[in-house]
Structure 1
Amino acid sequence: MTARTSALYGCSGVELTDWERSFFRDQRPWGYILFGRNIDSPDQVRALTAALREASDDPDAPVFIDQEGGPVARLRRPHFRHPPAPRRFAELYADDPEAAAEASWLNARLMADEMKSLGINADCAPMLDVVQPSAHEFLQERALGSDPETVTVLGKATALGLREGGVAPCVKHAPGHGRGDADSHHDLPRVSASRKVLEQTDFVPFLALKKEAMLMTAHVLYEDIDADRPGTLSPLVVRELIRESWGYQGLILTDDINMNALGGTIEERSRAALEAGCEIICHCNAEPADMESVARAAIELTGPTKERADRARSIAAGSPKPFDRGEAEERLKQLRLYEAAA
């Protein structure tokens, strides 16, 4: 197979532009990511995912989406089921842990069933952030819980449901965004808690799911670990903590490199992320100038990084296990967790 570069790109609309086709052909990115701007109808999404893979001559290219449920769901009505917010499963867990774990698996399995049918084979989920009361409101609905046990149980169930549906999960935002006091799309969150406290809480779900094939970093400044650089750009966070201390052996992706939590140019951020130990640069806004900046920093996937990337790719290319969609839908309706509230 032709060598792939260490980047994951978005595209601008419901079909590829001529520029995008040419860019993807020349750059040979490892994968792609879709957003609401790329979603119209089932047939249109199938055509778009096929076109992305054709553009880079890569029939097994991972095509990601952010399908968490609730406020972060790119697939939603009228053409698709709009999954409930992760917080709803955490609320059920407080009353009935077994039912909540079952519901999380069923919900993820249904999401995977829908994604796979559209040519989408990777999901930026589950979110393993242990949300704290001080966290920015944008995290509250997205969190699977406010304690490590709840997040771990529901995160495991979600990841399993995705994998059994032939969709590769990417856990996020490591080493934990649950104390973030800002929305990293706009500002840099800072975490002042000690590493010891983080080890007892925030890190726990990530360690429990460290065998998952992909992990996404957080654009968060952890003052007790690296007071100068946000997690995504910090060798102390990526190499020393996640790779060495945790022993994580999967592929490490950045969160969107274009987010305002990070300083410097897009090219500088991309190079710094790779130097810190990230392996795939995720770029989402589909602006050609920014994509060209990422491309100047991206490198070919070789050695252990390629092995990790190939492992993730094999999960994304896998066939779903047998599944009765009707039974799953009925059970989630019984639990009042089939769709997001209107």
Structure 2
Amino acid sequence: MSESKAVIFGSMGPQLSADEKAFFRDERPWGFILFGRNIVEKAQIADLTAEMRECAGRPDAPVLIDQEGGRVQRLRPPLAPNYPAGAELGALYGNDRDKGLRAAWLLSRLHAFDLVPCGINVDCLPVLDVPAPGGHEVIGSRAYGTRPEVVAAMGKAAADGLKAGGMLPVIKHIPGHGRADADTHLELPRVRATHEELAEVDFPPFHALRTELMAMTAHVIYTAIDAEAPGTISSKVIGEVIRREIGFDGLLMSDDVSMNALSGDFAARTRAIFAAGCDVVLHCNGDMAEMRAVAGQTPVLADKALRRAEAVTAAFSTPDDSDGDELREAFAQLMATA
């Protein structure tokens, strides 16, 4: 891997501006992330992702997207069908475990059919959060269920489906966002559950998928672990819980550094993210002034972070030989039984 900075950036529109090209060539981010503002049609997306990789100087640079189904889905008709949310798949699991697991695998495999031709090779899926009574609806129907064993089983099936399609998953939002009482895009939630409650319900899905190669943090305060700092910038949450108790040793990226759950200017936020033990900082909105501030405090990938990043890029594989039309029909038939 050529020398890259430990950052994933978004961009403003369907093509890179001259300023963005120059900035990305200078800063050499490890990866990129796409949103609806970047999406017009498939050839355009493929051109954009190719240009991003050229600017980064690496043909294997990860390009991420949030393509879950339900309300979090960046590619929409006619580029991709409107897919069901995780809760709908979980309801199928509730009626028939095998059908639910098959549906989760199939949906991820279909995401790969939609995304890989566009040059997108990482999906920020599965959502491993376990909603709790009183939790904010920012997770809600995105979750596969309210029992950790269901979320873990469905999450594993979803991750396996992505990998069968030549993509890689990102497990999120470690160590658990389901109890959060606020939307982290807008404010900082506080979870007051005991450590024992968290260990019984919230952590197990992440422990079950701890060998996946990428995870995204939660901007959530867990008062039983660290009453002052949200997980993304808490060395206790990252070191004691994510790395030790859950046992995740893959590439740990922050959730979006521009969310209002975090405070301080962007330089301070970025420094705090790395000081806490994150490997990579994520900045999504494409704002150039913010990106410059983030880049100014972002180190080059080195040591354990570099090892984890290299493990990611080494794991991209050729998709299996599944027939897309057959899988779409199989998925439609399964969901018709839900």
Same fold (TM over 0.5): yes
Provide the secondary structure at the position in 2 that maps to 1:105: helix
Matched, 1:301 2:301: yes
Equivalent residue number for residue 325 of structure 1? 324
Query: What's the CA shift string for 1:132-173, capped at 9, x where partnerless?
Result: 121112211211111101101100000000011111101000
Provide the secondary structure at the position in 2 that maps to 1:240: helix
Are 1:128 and 1:151, in contact at CA under 8 Å, matched by a contact in 2?
A: yes
Provide the secondary structure at the position in 2 that maps to 1:7: strand
Equivalent residue number for residue 159 of structure 1? 159
- Number of residue-to-residue matches in the alignment: 337
Query: What's the CA shift string for 1:190-212, capped at 9, x where partnerless?
Result: 10000011000000000000000
Report the residue type matching 2:47 in the other structure. Answer: A
Matched, 1:10 2:10: yes
Structure 1 residues 2, 196: CA separation in 2 closer, same or farther (over 3 Å shift)?
same
Are 2:225 and 2:236, in contact at CA under 8 Å, matched by a contact in 1?
A: yes
Distance 2:68 2:219 in 1: 19
Distance 1:111 1:78 in 2: 14
Query: What's the CA shift string for 1:7-41, capped at 9, x where partnerless?
Result: 00000000000000000000010000000000000
Query: What's the CA shift string for 1:231-270, capped at 9, x where partnerless?
Result: 0000000112111222211000000000000111111111
Are 1:180 and 1:190, in contact at CA under 8 Å, matched by a contact in 2?
A: yes
Provide the secondary structure at the position in 2 that maps to 1:30: strand
Per the TM alignment, residue 57 of structure 1 is displaced from its structure 2 partner at its CA by 1.6
Equivalent residue number for residue 288 of structure 1? 288
Q: How does 1:1-342 map to 2 (within 5 A)?
A: 1-315=1-315, 317-336=316-335
Per the TM alignment, residue 84 of structure 1 is displaced from its structure 2 partner at its CA by 1.1
What TM-score, normalized to structure 1? 0.97
Report the residue type matching 2:86 in the other structure. Answer: P
Provide the secondary structure at the position in 2 that maps to 1:138: coil
Report the residue type matching 1:246 in the other structure. Answer: I
Distance 1:247 1:96 in 2: 31
Report the residue type matching 2:208 in the other structure. Answer: A
Are 1:88 and 1:337, in contact at CA under 8 Å, matched by a contact in 2?
A: no
Distance 1:166 1:81 in 2: 20
Are 2:254 and 2:280, in contact at CA under 8 Å, matched by a contact in 1?
A: yes
Are 1:84 and 1:337, in contact at CA under 8 Å, matched by a contact in 2?
A: no
Distance 1:202 1:229 in 2: 18
Are 1:4 and 1:28, in contact at CA under 8 Å, matched by a contact in 2?
A: yes
Query: What's the CA shift string for 1:69-112, capped at 9, x where partnerless?
Result: 11000011122222211110111111111100000000100101
Distance 2:122 2:307 in 1: 17
Distance 2:172 2:32 in 1: 17
Distance 1:247 1:87 in 2: 27
Of all paired residues, the percent bearing the same amino acid is 46
Structure 1 residues 337, 65: CA separation in 2 closer, same or farther (over 3 Å shift)?
farther
Structure 1 residues 220, 73: CA separation in 2 closer, same or farther (over 3 Å shift)?
same
Provide the secondary structure at the position in 1 that maps to 2:138: helix
Provide the secondary structure at the position in 2 that maps to 1:172: strand
Give me the CA root mean square deviation: 1.1
Where do 5+ consecutive residues of structure 1 fail to align? none
What TM-score, normalized to structure 2? 0.98
Are 2:7 and 2:281, in contact at CA under 8 Å, matched by a contact in 1?
A: yes
Report the residue type matching 2:163 in the other structure. Answer: R
Per the TM alignment, residue 302 of structure 1 is displaced from its structure 2 partner at its CA by 1.1
Where do 5+ consecutive residues of structure 2 fail to align? none
